[in-house]
Amino acid sequence: MSRPRLMIPGPIEFTDEVMAEMSKPTPSHVDPAFIEIFGQALEDLRSAFLAGPDYQPFILAGSGTLAMDCAVTNLVEPGDRALVVDTGYFSQRMADIVRRYGGDVTLLSAAPGETITPEQLRAALAENAYDLVTITHVDTSTGVLTDVRGLTAAAKEHDALVIVDGVCAAAAEEMRQAEWGVDVYLTASQKAIGTPPGLGLLVASPRALAKWRGRSAPVGSYYSDWGYWLPIMQAYEARKPSYFGTPAVNLVMALAVSLRQILDEGMENVFVRHVLLSNAVKAGVEALGMSQVPTDMAHAAHTLTCPRYPEGVDASFLKMVRANGAILAGGLHPAIKGEYFRIGHMGAASRADVLTALGAVEAGLRAAGYPVEPGVALAAAQAVLS
Ligand SMILES: *Cc1c(COP(=O)(O)O)cnc(C)c1O
């Protein structure tokens, strides 16, 4: 089979077991067998986020943006003050959503490729009071990883609620929701969690639920209102039938399979595998003489790599990479869009995938007229992997 591997930062390659589940006949959303699967998926989502038993998972039909919208509409009341830790395109989307629901947004912005440290956040929180801090765990537009643990600790010192966009990080980057005290951690099915696009996933802390219960203004979105979804999620977990809006039945079944595969591997192993694969890709990219968007590898994501094009190469080279076996993504951050490309290596990604991608990049560079010795990137990656 000569299909090129899909190695963009989502959607990703899904396992055969997940894809087989997608093709099963669609059961009723109140079929006892489906209720069991949905209930188990909710429990497994809580486990994958290392959240406590009193944390509430939500599985909704929609993309990652819906998960962001859902967190914000339930937790922000008009006039609430939000500090948005801004590490790129998706942080700015979060800021737009907060504004849409009446929040008063202050951006704490990093230059593209830079991160925001807990010390910088502490300084901003000392200047003004905020109800909410939002953080993008991995900003997919820059490949920048934030220190969610440290940033959350700083926000807690100032009693602010913390929403983390983990769409390009969940089930890949280390994250311990209960231990770190993240109030809402959210993701989408098509990234590292390993299920085709179409589900927004959130886990809310008891503190987040208390803030939502104490609202005086109604929730701004009808569809996303936890008032409708909380009883549904509780019913599925109690293995009881219920209905508000029809769940994406086949996707939930596929998610249940993927979550089981992730938990069978074990979260600690999942975190370590992503670091290893990422180190291999980054070593290969470096061996090819390319620099990367993150200014320091200490704050580079382990779910994707963002190499800068070498001299004389541009986005047209991605077609040649594809012809050599891997589909990669172009740049996304508006300020540097034409300067870099993105290699996704999350979810079920394997050593073979990483070597395929690097081999395709080498071949693509040669086809684009940039001289590279065959095997240089592969050798560097193999040295990391072995
Ligand atoms: C992909 C992504 C989103 C948006 O998810 P969609 O499913 O495309 O709506 C949000 N935040 C981050 C960090 C992402 O990587």
Say if residue 320's pLDDT is above 90.
yes
- Read off the pLDDT band of 87 (50, 70, 90): very high
Residue to probe by mutation, ligand 1, list 167, 189, 195, 224, most atoms within 8 Å of CB = 167
Q: Are 158 and 129 in contact (CB under 8 A)?
A: yes
Mutate to test the pocket of ligand 1, among 92, 140, 186 (most ligand atoms within 8 A of CB): 140
63 lines ligand 1 (CB under 6 A): yes
Ligand 1 lined by 301 (C-beta under 6 Å):
no
Which protein residue's CA is at the shortest distance from atom 12 of ligand 1? 167
Q: Is the CB of 62 under 6 A from ligand 1?
A: no
How far apart (Å, rounded) are the C-alpha atoms in residues 18 and 189? 12
Neighbours of 298 (CB within 10 A): 9
**CB 104, CB 132: distance < 8 Å:** no
Task: Find the DSSP H helices in the chain.
Answer: 16-22, 32-48, 64-75, 89-100, 118-127, 148-157, 177-180, 206-213, 226-237, 249-265, 267-287, 317-323, 351-367, 376-385
What tens digit of pLDDT does each residue of 142-156 get? 999 999 999 999 999
Phi and psi at 137, nearest 5°, equal -60, -55
Q: Does ligand 1 come within 6 angstroms of the Cβ of 140? A: yes
Q: How confident is the model at residue 346 (pLDDT cuts 50, 70, 90)?
A: very high
pLDDT digits (tens, 9 = 90+) for 43-76: 999 999 999 999 999 999 999 999 999 999 999 9
Q: Which pLDDT band, with edges at 50, 70 and 90, does 1 fall under?
A: low
Nearest to 170 by CA among 154, 152, 153, 148: 148
Tell me the CA–centroid distance for residue 168 and ligand 1, in Å. 7
Nearest-atom index, ligand 1, CA of 9: 15
Cβ–ligand 1 contact at 165 (below 6 Å) = yes
Domains of the chain: 5-10+266-385 (3.90.1150.10), 16-265 (3.40.640.10)
Distance 160 CA to ligand 1 centre (A): 24
Whether pLDDT at 259 is above 80: yes
Q: How high is the pLDDT of residue 321?
A: 97
Cβ-contact 274, 265 below 8 angstroms: no
